[in-house]
Amino acid sequence: MNLILCVFGGRIVGPVFPLVRRSSFMSTTRPKTAGIIIIGDEILKGQTQDTNTYFLTQNLRRLGVNVDRVSVIPDNLDVIATEVANFSSIYDFVLTSGGIGPTHDDLTFEGVAKAFGDRLEHHPKIVDVCKTWFKKTDITDPCFKLAFIPTQSQLNFGTDKITGKTTIYPLVSVKNVFIFPGIPELLRKAFNNLGDTLFSTDKQFHTGQFYFDKDELSLTPAINRLVAEFPQVTVGSYPSLSNQFYKTNISVECEEKDLLITAKNFLTLEMGQLVEFDPNPTENTYSKIENFIAANDDLGKVVRESLSVVEEAFTRYSPEEISICFNGGKDCVAMVHLVHAVHQKMFPGSRLKSFYVSESKTFPELDQFITDAVVRYNLANIEYKEPMKAAISRMLDDDQSIKATFLGVRAGDPGWERMSSFSPTDGDWPKVMRVHPILSWSYSHIWTFLRGLSIPYPVLYDRGYTSLGHPDKTIPNPALAFTDPVTGLQKYKPAYMLEDSSLERSGRL
């Protein structure tokens, strides 16, 4: 009998034994198992962040493989050999990452050989690859260490998913141990080219992530009922104290799709309305926007107009000729998301240019948000700490290919009525085309768009700020103030709950 341990928020709350009666939902075959060994002193010393574990566990799960253990070990020959031998005897697949380069501390091939009582030899096929790739012939050169592998090795050549050609360097395996490189880009490429072939199974895990605007404690009785009602389901509960869109994430996993649907219906009935949350709003962005606005006529009209403006801009100018003026405010975030969507659709794989004109003093929360957003949208960003006119002038001097810039100007902003979608600068301002995609948007449009598509925005807006300016001259909007009935303290509702948009700038002193 299998024992299922249900974990809530990282805490094991008790075992649940499956029902004895056979259900149509119950599987009769054991899932394939895997163990992952991450090798490298740099991981243990905190010098390098391990992203390979996340990638491998996620993709093995997609293929129906159950990862039972991950081990992080140093560049030590005996430790590698012992761990590989142990994992190989326990799991169907063993994946190692790291330690197969040309340097003295790259010991994985040696460790795997020792684990199986084997020795190393130069493999002629890989030697030829090294000769061609590195343009060297001296077998004692460090580059040929890549060809010095266990004699029992199998060479797994895949097909490059982009070029359609056979991969140049193989993934080396010994018995059930697959030896991946430690460099994340190379590991991902190798797995993407070979994973479906090497690790495919007849199993499939169906996972649902369900989000609620309720705290974990209040949901616990319903979670316990779910576990008791569906013993074939693995349930996880993950509270969030900082997410802007939900408070608790309930993860449900099972081997039958119909059971997942049944569990979802149970959750909705027991816990109330689900929160529509997208954990990856910057992926496949254009299609997600189209799907969202299809059911919202008012917002759909202004969004489609904005998308047309952005598309026209990228028709008039190449991506190298456009930069986004990004200040982190709510209007600017909506604008950046639209530009990202069009750019991602028209020029996949390339980066958007952006610049940030920083004030002499800023909110730390805003600075952190901009830092995170630059990564989230993969922006090639430059920061200027000077007035706007001087910053634009210096930006154009630094990058003379720039001819246009996107701005997040919206209805109600100072001087907005004198602007159009494409407005060249005038007077003594540096000559550049200003593109205004959201000029016709209202305050409610902004928040419906951001909240509806799970687009992150500065946390200050959740604390009652509705318009961000200089920290010494900006306070939470008085129109959002209320008295907490429990503590008697004054608090503020989030910015998206402001009913009278004419009071948007009431927090500016």
Q: What is the DSSP string of 332-380?
A: HHHHHHHHHHHHHHHSTT--EEEEEE--SS--HHHHHHHHHHHHHTTEE
Contact 455, 334 (CB under 8 A): yes
Which of these, 330, 329, 382, lies nearest to 351 by C-alpha position?
382
Q: Could you tell me the two tokens for 53? A: 């574990």
Q: Right CATH number for 32-198 from 3.20.20.70, 3.40.50.300, 3.40.50.720, 3.40.980.10?
A: 3.40.980.10
Contact 56, 67 (CB under 8 A): yes
Domain spans in the chain, listed from the N-terminal domain onward = 32-198, 207-271, 285-443
| Mean pLDDT of the residues in the chain | 91
Burial letters 290-320, b for 16+ CB under 10 A, else e? eebbeeeeebeebbeebbebbeebbeebeee
Contact 109, 172 (CB under 8 A): yes
Q: What is the predicted pLDDT for the residue at 8?
A: 35
What pTM was computed for the model?
0.76
Task: Find the farthest-apart pair of alpha carbons in the chain and give their distance in angstroms, rounded.
Answer: 82
pLDDT tens column, 153-183: 999 998 887 788 888 899 999 999 999 999 9
Q: Right CATH number for 207-271 from 3.30.70, 1.20.1070, 3.40.1350, 3.40.50?
A: 3.30.70
Residue 132 half-sphere exposure toward CB, CA atoms < 13 A: 8
pLDDT tens column, 299-351: 999 999 999 999 999 999 999 999 999 999 999 999 999 999 999 999 998 99
Contact 408, 332 (CB under 8 A): yes
Average pLDDT over residues 456-462: 97
Q: How far apart are alpha carbons 380 and 355 in whole angstroms?
A: 8
pLDDT tens column, 201-242: 888 888 899 999 999 999 999 999 999 999 989 999 999 998
Q: Could you tell me the two tokens for 275? A: 């929160």
pLDDT tens column, 264-298: 999 999 988 899 999 999 999 999 999 999 988 88
Would the pLDDT of 400 be above 80? Answer: yes
Would the pLDDT of 14 be above 80? Answer: no
Residue 353 half-sphere exposure toward CB, CA atoms < 13 A: 19
Q: How far apart are alpha carbons 480 and 331 in whole angstroms?
A: 19
Q: Could you tell me the two tokens for 223? A: 């979670």
Q: Could you tell me the two tokens for 359? A: 């004030």
Q: What is the predicted pLDDT for the residue at 11?
A: 36
Q: Could you tell me the two tokens for 349? A: 């794989």
Q: In degrees, to the nearest 5, what angle opens at C-alpha 324 toward C-alphas 429 and 464?
A: 100
pLDDT tens column, 77-126: 999 999 999 999 999 999 999 999 898 889 999 999 999 999 999 999 99
Where does the pLDDT of residue 29 fall: very low under 50, low under 70, confident under 90, or very high at 90 and above?
low
Where does the pLDDT of residue 27 fall: very low under 50, low under 70, confident under 90, or very high at 90 and above?
very low
Would the pLDDT of 1 be above 60? Answer: no
Size of the chain in residues: 509
Q: 């390979």: which residue's tokens?
A: 52
**285-443 matches 32-198 in CATH topology:** no
The domain defined by 285-443 folds into: Rossmann fold (3.40.50)
Identity (one letter) of the amino acid at 128?
D
